[in-house]
Structure 1
């Protein structure tokens, strides 16, 4: 049937659209799917093999019959999952806010699984012996109906985990495929440790799979909490014009003036900071080298396909903006990084004369009041113009603008990419942090270049007089 359907559809590939980037993305998706289904096979089938190994043949045969009930429930839930996954993956970001897709899937799996589990629990023991023979009668408090019901409940718990995992994968909230594969090993170890009876084997799986469901649901609930304010009211960001990356870098470096970040270069390169010529290739190269010198780890985490825009931000768009979760901001936010919430907490914070954090915001508020603030744009990053946005640079200025109710006076630049969820600055997850650590180690092992000085001298941006700045 699949072969007939394939040839009937007669798909035609556009070979001109195939490039290394699309092939790499396709390979990543195939790898994720392979790991995901390998973990499923391991969790679904390892128990039968282990029971056959550890327990006598009669108990192993009974367990195989009991496990068939779980296979029926899992097959039914897979029909729901297979229907949900393409719908979720193809839905618009706006449909994510009502959680109807995952809610319907979870309730469907739970309803079907609960009905089967309860039905098996109340089925009398004598009915199974009539249908299948006296060998299916198990003496003691944990009879055949009890074991069937508990195994069915165990399967339902795992099916709920699969629904959550596929939802997270389709929305790129998290990729827990590797975690599932690792947990399959934990499940095997648990059965190897506890296998005195069929009831013990099933209970070990139930406890472990409940823990697994809780763990895989953590990214989903964190995503809900992060977007709680955003989901209440969301507007589509107004894109004013497309910007080149060189223009964004120029604005970013302008905001670094006076902070001491480029103290050894500011006097000699002040003109390319304040009056950038974006058509001058050598001048743009100098700015890129300066960015690499101090902010290599920050900028390299952004996806390669990031597109930059000048955007308009007003009070109506504040619900979808979050501060950058680092250092003092993480302590102030206490888990809720919504810009309005953070601004309110800073407003109610007891000011201390020696607190540089609050003092800096107060200075910016004063500059906004007197219209003397002269700095680069605030840089935001996000998936699309309708999704949550994170402040990459300009937390202090943005909060000051919110507190003074003068957000409209600030300049904003936004980088958008559908792969932004893989950037640790936009989404702090275990996998993103591991990727960041790998990239940081790779960057650390690179030979630190003298590109800035060389570019400055070759482009003529360094004046003749005075000693050269120190080379890093």
Structure 2
């Protein structure tokens, strides 16, 4: 595993939010914030705070478990590194993995199901993503977490895309995926990286602690004059994120 360059948490949150922004939680005011999401100014602290609040609508409980001392890096994986990449140990990945969360193992199980002609919502999604990866386009960011570059890493966001990429030639993965990993010596205290009773108890305690948190209330970060109900009024009030 090779570290390419250090990146900020603000950039990571920005990329994460782009992948989440199609969900229904953003339907009511998507037009208000799409410029902040798809044309971000990472040097603007208020914009960064808005993107964090938006991400927290869906991923607050996830993000709070990431250690505060996490350093984010753009990385490159060698072939030997692939066996140290694990899928996110939740939902259908838990059922599909049969106890082995290695992404290579999961991809092989999916490959066999596809070859047998099985049908499921997951297989349909994997097939669509596998096909899309083979066409030219901008790189898609996949996020991982780990203790350091010598130990196993876990997919935090982009599980479907990464597993789909394991089903296409290696050069396509390199061309179409941008890999970002958060490293922390305390990552083994994060339940998304290491699932045990202690970490799950910490997760539960954190959920209760933040039940009434306003961290996801993006309106507290936007001036009242910008909180219009019409897209045009909003753009006129706040201007383009890139305007000087």
Q: TM-score range by the shorter chain?
A: 0.7 to 0.9
User: Which residue does the alignment assign to 2:239?
Assistant: none
- Number of residue pairs the alignment of both structures matches: 229
1:412 is the counterpart of 2:176: no
Contact 1:269 / 1:462 at 8 angstroms: preserved in 2?
Answer: no
Q: Would you say 1:342 and 2:106 are equivalent positions? A: yes
Aligned-pair CA distance for 1:317: 1.8
CA displacement at 1:264 relative to structure 2: 2.5
Q: Which residue is 2:201 aligned to? A: 434
Q: For the structure 1 residues 298 and 351, does the alpha-carbon distance in structure 2 shift closer, same or farther, using more than 3 Å as the test? A: farther
Q: TM-score, normalised by structure 1?
A: 0.46
SS where residue 301 of structure 1 aligns?
A: coil
- Cα offset, 1:466, TM superposition: 7.3
Question: Following the alignment from structure 1 to structure 2, what is the Cα–Cα distance between the partners of residues 262 and 375?
Answer: 24
The answer to whether residue 7 in structure 2 is matched with residue 246 in structure 1 is no
TM-score by length of 2: 0.86
1:365: which partner in 2?
A: 130
* Distance (whole Å) between structure 2 residues aligned to residue 337 and residue 423 of structure 1: 17
Q: 1:431 to 1:368 in 2, by over 3 A?
A: same
> Who is 2:83 aligned against?
319
Instruction: For residue 320 of structure 1, report the CA deviation from its aligned partner.
Output: 1.0
Please say if residues 11 and 42 of structure 2, whose CA atoms lie closer than 8 Å, have aligned partners that are also in contact.
Answer: yes
CA shift for structure 1 position 456: 3.1
Alignment partner of 1:398 is 2:162: yes
Given that 2:31 and 2:231 are in contact with CA atoms closer than 8 Å, whether structure 1 keeps it comes out as: no
Structure 1, unmatched stretches of 5+, are 1-236
Gaps of 5+ in 2: 235-244
Post-superposition CA distance 1:79-125 (Å, at most 9, x none):
xxxxxxxxxxxxxxxxxxxxxxxxxxxxxxxxxxxxxxxxxxxxxxx
- Tell me, in whole angstroms, the C-alpha distance in 1 between the residues paired with 2:14 and 2:66: 17
**Contact 1:286–1:455 at 8 Å: present in 2 too?**
yes
Contact 2:87 2:159 (8 Å CA) reproduced: yes
SS at structure 1 position matched to 2:188:
helix
Alignment check: 8 A CA contact 1:246 1:278 kept? yes
Greater share of residues in helix:
1
Work out the CA distance in 1 between the residues paired with 2:133 and 2:225.
37
CA–CA separation in structure 1 for the residues paired with 2:225 and 2:43: 13
Cα-to-partner distance string for 1:354-408 (whole Å, 9 max, x where unaligned)? x221111111111111224x57511100001111000011100000111012321
More strand by percentage: 2
- State the shift of 1:269 in Å: 1.3
Contact 1:244-1:308 at 8 Å conserved across structures = yes
Alignment of 1:279-294 (within 5 A): 279-294=43-58
SS in 2 for 1:319: helix
Structure having greater relative contact order (Cα 8 Å, sep ≥ 6): 2
Distance in 2 separating the partners of 1:457 and 1:358: 45
Q: Is 1:425–2:192 an aligned residue pair?
A: yes
Which residue of 2 is the match for residue 121 of structure 1? Answer: none
Change (3 A) 1:371 1:322: same
Map 1:78-117 to 2 at 5 A.
none
Deviation at 1:263, TM superposition (A): 2.4
Partner of 2:26: 262
Looking at CA atoms only, which structure, 1 or 2, has the larger radius of gyration? 1
Q: In 1, are the aligned partners of 2:83 and 2:103 still within 8 Å (CA)?
A: yes
